[in-house]
Structure 1
């Protein structure tokens, strides 16, 4: 008898086929469950991408539409830019027009003031000449008076007074046809020289002198008016009215430069240059 016969075997008992099959079935079911769960998890993770977007095919018609849309957009941009430029130009033109209007109004106002000042000055000068003529007429003496009778009237440059003063200073000078002073005169040269003292340039001959200035009636004479004898434009003699119905002229070779009464030799007409 073997000395090991009573020692129990150390081998584990074999499992029965039924138990092994059962365990295998359970394990397979668990694995199947896990596989299904994994598949479900993967499917759930992909759920956000649920639709495929199909891009349109770029056909010739679609290309034309895109090009047309681009042209329209460009034209709109050009139109907006042009309108902006027009608005800016209109604004600038309006501003310039406003400035021009203000400048024109300023110039018009300055012109009105200048005209008013000139009118006032002319009125003052007319009043001064009228007063001067009245004064000269009052102080004038009769025919044959000497130059000393004019000493009380101080010559005034550019006025009737300077004309009358010059004329009276020539009293007694000779009359010589064609002479022009300083000690001999004819009628028109004496008148021309007298008015030159007042800054008035008269023609040399009596015919032309009778057409100068403004025609006045012989019944409305003022001191300094030029008297003429004969027709206007064809006068043969001239003199200057000095007031009180008298005039001064270079009469003729026998009288020379004298003061005479109009009543003895009425003038045909008269002109006023001052």
Structure 2
């Protein structure tokens, strides 16, 4: 797959990461972008890279960087340090609830890629990047966790 760069914007939610955590975050994002366009399939096995669901994708790219995560998004939402939306750094995991739901039940996970960008997989496009702030993704925000 062709490697794609993260779109640059003038508005950034990220603060600067430092040292090895920044290098690990850059590795996670670069590895994730290599899978851009790989199809989404709910319940994909952690042992395949032919398809991903949101949590098998995050589990795979973090494992490639030496960080072990649990298999599903609800379990992943309990590891690492909780961070607020305005303190997001590259490599943070962002967890979402269903659109229009008042429930706090986690239904999706994405990687914050910096510069107001999410790296994740869902729907027909498969692994992709999306804007965060000012979108339905931001409205569905439930919690963010720092695992690196």
Q: TM-score, normalised by structure 2?
A: 0.75
| Partner residue in 1 for 2:49 | 182
> How much is the aligned-residue C-alpha RMSD, in angstroms?
1.8
Runs of 4+ in 1 over 2 A off after TM superposition: none
2:127 to 257, 265, 270: 257
Distance 2:63 2:110 in 1: 15
SS in 2 for 1:244: coil
Larger Rg: 1
Which has the larger share of helix? 1
| Partner residue in 1 for 2:27 | 162
Paired residues of 2:26 and 2:90 also in contact (CA < 8 A): no
- How many residues get paired? 121
Q: TM-score, normalised by structure 1?
A: 0.42
- How far off its partner does 1:161 sit? 2.0
- How far off its partner does 1:200 sit? 1.2
2:38 to 166, 173, 178: 173
- How far off its partner does 1:129 sit? 4.2
| Partner residue in 2 for 1:100 | none
Which has the larger share of strand? 2
Structure 1 residues 233-256: Cα deviation after superposition (integer angstroms, max 9, x where no partner) = x4110010001111011122x221
| Partner residue in 1 for 2:75 | 208
Pairing 1:118-129 to 2, within 5 Å after superposition: 127-129=18-20
Distance 1:169 1:177 in 2: 20
Distance 2:64 2:85 in 1: 24
Gap regions ≥5 residues in structure 2: 1-16, 98-102
